[in-house]
Structure 1
Amino acid sequence: MDKNTYYYETVKNMAVEKVLNQYCSDSDPSRPALKKLLEDLLDWFMLSERQIYLLKNENDKGNGFYDRKLGTPMGNLDISVPRTRTGDFRPHILPEPYKRVDESYTDLLMSLVVNGYSESSLLNTLKSLNLPYSDDELNKIKDDLKSELDLFKQRELPESVFALLIDAYHCEIKDGSKVKKAACYIILGVDMEGKKDIFGLYTFFGKENRADWNKVFQDLINRGLKRVLVVVSDDFPGIIETVKAVYPYADHQLCFVHLQRNIRKYMTKADAAEFNKELDKIKFASSFDEAVQKFYDLCSKFKSKYSRYMNILMEKAEHYMAFIKYPESLRKHVYTTNSVESINSLVEKIRIRSGGYFNSVEVLEINIYLQRENLRRTKWKKAVPMINAHIYEIQQIFQLRYFNQTQNS
């Protein structure tokens, strides 16, 4: 390695490491996710650049992509660089070979992920890099991603799915001159082959409420989702009645993990420990009826001390034990909303690093959409092995459940 190359690599590594350390430590589990998001964003940005180039150069045509590795201290960024037939196009967003990569370049990438796609900060960063594009062209690059988000939210859904895992992410969003409380309803679907995807995301200002959940489910139905085997949710106000109304033949599992957390909240430490110990045993019941009965018996044991709370739990026993209806190796996939909460936790870190709130609803939803794109290319690329291994049993349950039943229309 010659002196200039060594100097370039050293400066580049220092810059990238400095910016990354500003947002996450070496041990932060979100560090690999940020790496993947940078790759996705570079791919998207370069493709938008080529579109602008082809509009200006009508005699040239797109000619696929070539793979390139952009080395960083956290590992190589694997990117797909778009090319044209003449070979005259090169994305300006990429650093020139052996050109010094300073904080401005890495700040640009991290601002796309962390700074919430603030229009002013993004455009100012692009201009500071002296990219040869007008304001209109820079806005077009930004608008391309917004269009992708709109198409994602409107796309057709499968008619039948194995599971819906639903949760609401609570945050603050800037609306005009004020920062308001909001809830973003995230719907994670598992199809009949065991593959995961976000089926929808819906943001409403104010507190979580039944009316908004009705709008969410109505949109899912309008986009083609007619039959669901199991819905997994927390015990939101009115959610049991809403799920029953829109998917009357679906099992509705209330999050078992949240149940155990609430037990620790509403009972003394000693009682909660005893209750949850017995609750863990019920998870391995041989049948749904056995599980419900054991849950009733457990609640009855503590009813004299926690009468009102135990009555509430007993009323919802069938919803807390619905996962027992499925093969034992599948139960961990349908008894908790943790899969959705893991998405929420990544977005929450972005909110904190963005100053405590999102600049707009669009900013929040673009961040979630990018998390989805990242997951689809990594963890969600293939079906969940354990679910895929039980596809035949799932289909049998599905046929028995929906055979000759009235479909949503």
Structure 2
Amino acid sequence: MNDLLRKELQQAVNDLLEAELTAFLGYDPYARNGWNTGNSRNGAYFRKVDTQFGPIEVQVPRDRNGQFHQHTLPDYKQHSDVLESTIIKLYSKGVTTREIADLIEKMYGSHYSPAQVSNISKQMLPKIEAYHKRKLSDKFFCVYLDATYLPLRRETFEREAVYIAIGIKPNGHKEVIDYCIAPSENIEVWTEMLQNMKSRGLKQVELFLSDGVVGMKTALARTYPKAHFQRCLVHVMRNICAKVRVDDREKIMNEFKQIHQQTSKKEAAAVLHKFYAKWNKAYSHVIKGLKEIEPDLLVFYNYPKQIRASIYSTNMIESFNNVIKRKAKPKAEFPTEQSLDAFIGIQAMSYNDRYFNRIHKGFGQVQDTLESYFE
């Protein structure tokens, strides 16, 4: 247990040091807006620091001009109080403030009230604000849009919508572009979020993916008129299953899945029309609805086969939503919008750090092809 906690503390301290340098330089590692700024990252030196759980090795980053001075660790001291780092790390994992207070007291013999723990976690708020205002990459190949619901107390307790946008760049790198919170999902909030993304530098998107929220395609066309739109086939299938008899669901689901398993758009269209013909008599209203959105169902076939498995549904963003829900589960509710914003922000920045240099499956094989869509 000590070894596990020691590793967590070491990672937390190193994350804070790297975040300090990022704030000092004003740009993320490898970010294009850092080019020709006159200063840059210049490796790191190592220090050992004794903690309650044994020594940890920290990497203190350096800048090329020698102007950066970190404040996470006291200078020339090998003993550091890492309680605040521990609290922030535990908070990001979804542990409640009361549970953190109890845990810290048991581990260190130091008493923190839940209110004090909450105040310490608020140290992340300036970073969250900077995250919402940061300059965005000028182009993403595809952007996934989805909303999930989490418990929030204003005057009363309700589950409110968290709007989330995750994008994949032409080079295959993915990131949580932004998120926002509103009482319910509606197109006005999505429109405002899209306009905000564009104002912060995201000028070009080749493909948007979303479920069937009313007005989404129109809002996208207004903000990004050159972008294409793919309706999430998984959401479409769920909607169909909700409107047919239980005895027919498995058969319909298996047949509908074949639409995204074809080798070409022509073959997929043939499968779709066969589906129409077979089920139109029994479920004419369902088939009528499918025909109305048919132009948005097979758009993903216009792109290289290596990435089609990633762009026929919003499964990627839903996996991120599931992580958020799992970590938020221990919390009965978030007491304020600010606390919910901080919680989601920590997850978003952690996600972006984790996948910063990873290439999403299939995208590395067709990077040159995807870049050509923007020429």
Q: Give the TM-score band, short-chain normalised.
A: 0.7 to 0.9
Which residue number corresponds to residue 257 of structure 2?
A: 280
- Cα distance in 1 for partners of 2:359, 2:88 equals 34
Structure 2 contact 45–59 (Cα < 8 Å) conserved: no
How many Å apart are 1:152 and its aligned residue? 0.7
**Mapping of 1:5-404 within 5 angstroms?**
12=2, 41-43=12-14, 65-66=46-47, 80=59, 86-88=75-77, 90-93=79-82, 110-111=90-91, 113-115=93-95, 142-175=121-154, 177-205=155-183, 207-355=184-332, 357-399=333-375
Instruction: Describe the shift of the 1:131–1:244 C-alpha distance in structure 2 as closer, same or farther (beyond 3 A).
Output: same
3-state SS of 1:166 partner: strand
The code of the aligned residue for 2:271 comes to K
Structure 2 contact 173–356 (Cα < 8 Å) conserved: yes
How many Å apart are 1:285 and its aligned residue? 3.3
* Structure 1 unpaired stretches of 5+: 1-8, 17-34, 50-62, 96-104, 400-409
CA deviation string 1:128-182 (max 9, x = no partner): 968799xxx999854441111111111111221101011101122122x422331
* Structure 2 unpaired stretches of 5+: 21-43, 61-69
TM-score under structure 2 length normalisation:
0.75
- Cα distance in 1 for partners of 2:101, 2:17 equals 16
- Cα distance in 2 for partners of 1:224, 1:328 equals 29
TM-score under structure 1 length normalisation:
0.70
- Cα distance in 1 for partners of 2:57, 2:354 equals 13
Instruction: Describe the shift of the 1:240–1:70 C-alpha distance in structure 2 as closer, same or farther (beyond 3 A).
Output: farther
The code of the aligned residue for 1:194 comes to G
Structure 2 contact 74–80 (Cα < 8 Å) conserved: no
CA deviation string 1:384-405 (max 9, x = no partner): 2410211122123443xxxxxx
CA deviation string 1:222-260 (max 9, x = no partner): 111111111111111221221222222222111112222
- Cα distance in 1 for partners of 2:256, 2:325 equals 30
How many Å apart are 1:353 and its aligned residue? 0.4
Name the % identity: 20
CA deviation string 1:259-286 (max 9, x = no partner): 2222322222443333333323222334
Stretch deviating more after TM superposition (309-318 or 142-151): 142-151
Instruction: Describe the shift of the 1:382–1:305 C-alpha distance in structure 2 as closer, same or farther (beyond 3 A).
Output: same
How many Å apart are 1:360 and its aligned residue? 2.1
The code of the aligned residue for 2:127 comes to E
CA deviation string 1:74-117 (max 9, x = no partner): xx99865778695136321269xxxxxxxxx978853453245x
How many Å apart are 1:340 and its aligned residue? 1.2
> Which structure would you say has the larger Rg?
1
The code of the aligned residue for 2:308 comes to R
How many Å apart are 1:45 and its aligned residue? 6.2
The code of the aligned residue for 1:287 comes to S
The code of the aligned residue for 1:260 comes to M
